[in-house]
Amino acid sequence: MTGGAGFVGSHLCERLLARGDDVLCVDNYFTGRRDNIAHLLGQPHFEALRHDVSFPLYVEVDEIFNLACPASPVHYQFDPVQTTKTSVIGAINMLGLAKRIGAKILQASTSEVYGDPTVHPQTEDYRGNVNTLGPRACYDEGKRCAETLFFDYFRQHRVKIKVARIFNTYGPRMHPNDGRVVSNFIIQSLRGDDITLYGDGSQTRAFCFVDDLVGGLMRLMGTGNDVTGPVNLGNPHEIPVRELAERVIALTGSSSRIVHRPLPQDDPLQRCPDISLARRVLDDWQPTVALEDGLRRTIAYFEAMLRAGKAPEGRAA
Ligand SMILES: NC(=O)c1ccc[n+]([C@@H]2O[C@H](COP(=O)([O-])OP(=O)(O)OC[C@H]3O[C@@H](n4cnc5c(N)ncnc54)[C@H](O)[C@@H]3O)[C@@H](O)[C@H]2O)c1
């Protein structure tokens, strides 16, 4: 698992170990945190390796989950050239490894490949509306190129590929300072700070709890060679960002006020997955955790973190 010490990766490591797999977690700890995998380090079937995927890796495994890549704008824009290298050169290195050892490989792609979509909700055949020159392009175009590489390795070298297009996911172990809307709102509410809402808050998002996503990724990896994807994985239940802020304030019992800031450049106004394909090929997979339950569990995580006075590690802004 590349990116195994990150938010999604650490949950996936945990679930694979629980299933009885051996897990090799490969991470350079750019946004991942050792705290995320500390509880796994003593387990005999878990191994952690510090490694940057933009350099080749020689190991023996049966399956590769390629998750390495900073996922939030603050982090991927910190060093945009490295972000593109991680996505593109990282994909080449991991696909090369998969080819050499005959492993199946799953790419954690993203709904960002759709850019600011003109089709709603987004189906996998929509080709996207991405600005190649903007500040988000290092991530969006890096992920698009990685998808291209996956399909070229599939056609040219018959590598067994799976491509998941992941939509907004939230849950415990999100980076506290990554500027993403769920973690932002929760931390601001818990601290009683103003809640910053970009634009008027009418832009919508659909939030998937991390356990649901991880289940989808495992099912996708378990499919036969006829299923390559891309497959959308996310929660199709869409809500305005303002409503999310109000729900978080209510659940935390906070006295925070909502304040407005201008929308960042190229911020998509709507994002919502069409998950018909996932339901069809992944044995009727669909998210089952209600937003309220997922938010409670995420709030509990950040509450404990703040109570412990843990200064966030990593390159938080
Ligand atoms: N969380 C979401 O909502 C979401 C949405 C769409 C796609 N994704 C994708 O899922 C994957 C995991 O996202 P996440 O939310 O857990 O992000 P994250 O930042 O918590 O995890 C990414 C991990 O990759 C590691 N990493 C970064 N560059 C690396 C490199 N060059 N070599 C080795 N490791 C490196 C980081 O240290 C971190 O542990 C990413 O590829 C992301 O693009 C996530």
> Which of 52, 69, 207, 231 gets mutated to test ligand 1 (max ligand atoms within 8 A of its CB)?
69
The verdict on the CB of residue 27 being under 6 Å from ligand 1 is yes
Domain ranges, ordered by start, for the chain = 7-307
The verdict on the CB of residue 254 being under 6 Å from ligand 1 is no
Please list the pLDDT of the chain residue by residue as tens digits (317 residues).
999 999 999 999 999 999 999 999 999 999 999 999 999 999 999 999 999 999 999 999 999 999 999 999 999 999 999 999 999 999 999 999 999 999 999 999 999 999 988 998 999 999 999 999 999 999 999 999 999 999 999 999 999 999 999 999 999 999 988 888 999 999 999 999 999 998 999 988 999 999 999 999 999 999 999 999 999 999 999 999 999 999 999 999 999 999 999 987 767 777 899 999 999 999 999 999 999 999 999 999 999 999 998 755 433 32
Fold of 7-307: Rossmann fold (3.40.50)
139 is catalytic: yes
The verdict on the CB of residue 172 being under 6 Å from ligand 1 is no
Question: How many C-beta atoms lie closer than 10 Å to residue 113's C-beta?
Answer: 23
Query: 101: part of which helix (H) or strand (E)?
Result: helix 80-101
| CA dihedral of 287, 289, 290, 295, whole degrees rounded to 10 | -120
pTM attached to this predicted model: 0.95
